[in-house]
Amino acid sequence: MGKQEKIVSMFNDIAGTYDVANRVLSMGIDKSWRNKACNKAFELYGNKQIEKIVDVACGTGDMIIYWEKVAKENGIDLQNVVGVDPSVGMMEVGKKKLPHVEFIEAGAADMPLDSDSADIISISYGIRNVVQRQEAFNEFARVLKKDGLVVINEFTKNKKEKLLDHVTDFYMNKILPTLGGMISKNKEAYTYLPNSIDEFLTTENLCNELKNAGLEPVHVKAFSMNISTLIIARKI
């Protein structure tokens, strides 16, 4: 089993408890991170009519709920949101929450979607699980319309400069695996998650990889003691 297959099978295994674990582990703050990402993206896109948003590594559909909610709050006519994920187990949970949404089983680097068809592509806390990251960004650029946006929320590795950075590190590496393991009965999965934020997953590297794909970062912001970073890039 290759690395990508192993990751997918692990997510299939924890799918049923994933939402609860996520809320507990992020202490609910991921809600505000997701909200901010949607609001900022709509502001930067500046269009009141949006044909299609594609949420990649959509899992159980959390980010899709935010796209729909924030579009409504901003008076945006959002016609279609599509969820893409290689884990069928996670999407089964999503389909129960969002029966009106189309979910497609696919990896980020190879999506069965038309070129120049999406206004926005988002990936929240999922880019670290994509083994072929540069290929995925190239694929995002293919599927996006010109001037379309890629919206990335991710835990990124940044230089440990302050005491708080070490607190964050301790939480990710010690507390998260124990708590996540207790909730999901799969400690391996939650030990993998902090380890998956590898040394290449810095904000700087992500921005360079996006640029290589013809996606120009237009907004970069770190939240909550640098635990989470929002990167928005435009297809040029």
Position 62: which residue type? D
Q: Which residues contact 75 (CB under 8 A, 6 or more apart)?
A: 48
DSSP secondary structure letter of residue 226: T
Residue 80 falls in which region: left (phi positive, over 0), alpha (psi -120 to 50) or beta: beta
Domain boundary assignment for the chain: 27-158+199-235
Position 26: which residue type? S
Q: Considering just the CA atoms, what is the radius of gyration of the chain in Å? A: 17
Q: Which residues contact 28 (CB under 8 A, 6 or more apart)?
A: none
**Alpha-carbon distances, residue 32 vs 23, 28, 35, 225 (angstroms):** 12, 8, 5, 14
Q: State both tokens at 198.
A: 């590898």
The topology (CATH level 3) of 27-158+199-235 is Rossmann fold (3.40.50)
- Sheet arrangement for strand 228-235: 102-105, 81-85, 53-56, 118-124, 144-155, 228-235, 215-223
pTM of the predicted protein model: 0.80
Specify binding-site residues for S-adenosyl-L-methionine.
60, 85, 124
Band of residue 13 on the pLDDT scale cut at 50, 70, 90: confident
**Alpha-carbon distances, residue 6 vs 52, 86, 123, 128, 182 (angstroms):** 30, 11, 20, 14, 21
Other beta carbons within 10 Å of 76: 17
The mean pLDDT of 204-220, rounded to a whole number, is 96
pLDDT higher than threshold 80 for residue 175: no
pLDDT higher than threshold 60 for residue 160: no
Tens of pLDDT, residues 122-133: 999 888 888 899
Band of residue 4 on the pLDDT scale cut at 50, 70, 90: confident
Specify binding-site residues.
60, 85, 124
Regarding predicted confidence, which is higher, 28 or 53?
53
The mean pLDDT of 24-37, rounded to a whole number, is 78
